Amino acid sequence: MTLLKHIPKVDKILEWPGLRELLARHPRPSVLAVVRDVLDTLRVAARAETLGEAELAEAAVTARIERELARLAAPSLRRVVNGTGVVIHTNLGRSPLAVGVRPHLDEIAFGYSNLEFDLDRGERGSRYSHVEKLLCELTGAEAALVVNNNAAAVLLALSALAAGKEVIVSRGELVEIGGSFRIPDVMRQGGAILREVGTTNRTHPRDYRQAVTPETGLLLKVHSSNFAVVGFTAEVPPAELAAIGRESGVPVMADAGSGSLLDLSRFGICGEPTVQEFVAAGIDVITFSGDKLLGGPQAGIIVGRAHFIAPLTKHPLLRALRIDKLTLAALEATLRLYRDERQARAEIPTLRMLTASPDELAARGRAILRRLRRTLPDMLRFALVDGNSQVGGGAYPLLELPTTLVAVDADGRSPQELEERLRRAPVPVIGRIHRGRFLLDCRTLLDDDLPLLVNALRGVAE
């Protein structure tokens, strides 16, 4: 309790030379707020008798205030280094964009554009026109529309095609994606009535056929996303569902979730249909994300038959769910890369990471190791170990991609301390602890992450 009396007053602190300096660099109200916060923290510590006398020294208090002000001045949304090995990491911003997207994004972001202006006719145009042709060319669909994200795409499609009607879904596909996106809830929000068919593990064509009534508005297939049903299972493939829809005069929609435009089976990533396959199977409306396997910005992409996309383009919800121009610029530039499959694989980070071979990853691991050993002090020790990476983003939940990891040990620091220090670095490095070791997966480290990693590790050694 005695130290409580020694905590300086606000007025006194503001007269310290160090504080005068801070007041010259930061707005006065911010400095005052921080000083009061710091004093509160000191008082709490004093009452709990955890405060040391040294912490009340002028230099210590000033340094604390300065640190806090610097933290407030820095942006909250920041670059981080993803060493987790989860390629499409929802908490870390999902897909990083291809560097080739930057010039287009720059041009549109910092100038005016023909976002909704038809340059040929000199009159109002549509923002959706900029990617529709491209999406049709890439997927083979008749029509396309883009919105804010795939959740919005599903909501819009349900609202426009099935409000007040029944939507038939397999019990094996009533998925919760996380972040409170659950198919039954979205269905209710879209004004549709959920009609479950089949069982958790098996749904047959006859289940759909028997459920169709004059009240049916839509047959819906949902990608199981982040889970898998294994063992005694049956689901109705897209082409068969499309046929049931045609024979009963009901449109068929697929929420493809991640939605890939490339067949990645050559790289061991297989078992899910591409968007083109859904289109070719005759599915009327297909929705998927822009920032999952596609490797672009957050967006919801809708492709399909013109007759069924048209009501979506006229629905009042579209205005609330519409895509923004920065997203549109990044999406168009990303989609253009897909016109040449090899270019897409070479330039889109998500695809490059997913298709990296074990040899390539081992070689990258060795190069990283050399660099770290050369530049960092001896108290940090590095080794390469084998392990597995994950696709993430609700795609291929069971798939384990063989990879090379850098194990980091620091003399006198536990893996937990190491993890925390790297997470608190100026550019945070996020890794994982496995069997008592701190690990960084070479698969998800980008080329320009290396200097950031070196800096963060240097901070650990200090």
Q: Among the candidate windows 255-263, 274-282, 358-366, 367-375, which touches ligand PLP by CB under 6 A? A: 255-263
Could you tell me if residue 209 is left (phi over 0), alpha (psi between -120 and 50 degrees) or otherwise beta? alpha
390's enclosing H/E stretch is strand 380-392
Site string for ligand PLP, 261-290 (x = CB under 6 A): ----------------------------x-
Considering only 58-66, 209-217, 251-259, 433-441, which stretch makes contact with ligand PLP by CB under 6 A? 251-259
Distances (CA, A) of 131 to 126, 223, 325: 10, 24, 12
CB atoms within 10 A of CB 389: 24
Q: Name the residue nearer to ligand PLP (CB basis): 222 or 329.
A: 222
Residues 287-306 within binding reach of ligand PLP (CB under 6 A)? 289, 300
Query: Which of 62, 139, 258, 274 is close enough to bind ligand PLP by CB under 6 A?
Result: 258
Contact stretch for ligand PLP (CB under 6 A) within 197-205, 220-228, 272-280, 404-412: 220-228
Binding of ligand PLP by 187 (CB under 6 A): no
Sign of CA dihedral 392, 397, 401, 406: positive
Binding ligand PLP by CB under 6 A: which of 165, 221, 223, 352?
Answer: 223
Q: Let me know if 230 is exposed, middle or buried by CB neighbors in 10 A (0-12, 13-18, 19+).
A: exposed
Taking the least distance from each CB to ligand PLP, the nearer of 56 and 174 is: 174
Which of 15-23, 228-236, 252-260, 332-340 is the region at the interface with ligand PLP (rule: CB under 6 A)?
252-260
How far is residue 253's CA from residue 285's CA, in Å, rounded to a whole number?
5
Q: How far apart are CA 95 and CA 352, in angstroms?
A: 11
Is 340 buried (19+), middle (13-18) or exposed (0-12) by CB count in 10 A? Answer: exposed
Q: Is the dihedral of CA 350, 354, 358, 359 positive or negative?
A: negative
Q: How many Å apart are CA 397 and CA 402, to the nearest integer? A: 14
Residue 222 found at the interface with ligand PLP (CB under 6 A): yes
Residue nearer to ligand PLP on the CB measure, 223 or 443: 223
- Residue in 13, 143, 177, 312 binding ligand PLP, rule: CB under 6 A: 177
Size of the site for ligand PLP (CB under 6 A): 15
**Selected range binding ligand PLP among 217-225, 306-314, 330-338, 368-376, rule: CB under 6 A:** 217-225
Could you tell me the smallest distance in angstroms from the CB atom of residue 130 to ligand PLP? 19
Could you give the CA distance from residue 332 to residue 107 in angstroms, rounded to a whole number? 13
Judged by beta carbon, residue 154 or residue 281, the one nearer ligand PLP is 154
Query: DSSP secondary structure string, 320-345?
Result: HHBPPHHHHHHHHHHHHHTTSHHHHH
- Under the binding rule (CB under 6 A), the answer on residue 257 touching ligand PLP is yes
Q: What is 391-405 written as a DSSP string?
A: EETTS-TT--EEEEE
**Is 225 a residue that touches ligand PLP (CB under 6 A)?**
yes
Write down the least CB distance from residue 441 to ligand PLP, Å. Answer: 22
Is the torsion defined by CA of 436, 437, 440, 443 positive or negative?
A: negative
Q: Does 394 bind ligand PLP (CB under 6 A)?
A: yes
User: Is residue 255 at the binding interface for ligand PLP, with CB under 6 A as the rule?
Assistant: yes
Among 56, 181, 205, 384, binds ligand PLP (CB under 6 A): 181
- 185 near 175, Cβ under 8 Å? no
| Region near ligand PLP per CB under 6 A, out of 62-70, 149-157, 308-316, 398-406 | 149-157
Interacting residue ranges for ligand PLP, rule: CB under 6 A: 149-151, 154, 177, 181, 222-223, 225, 255, 257-258, 289, 300, 394
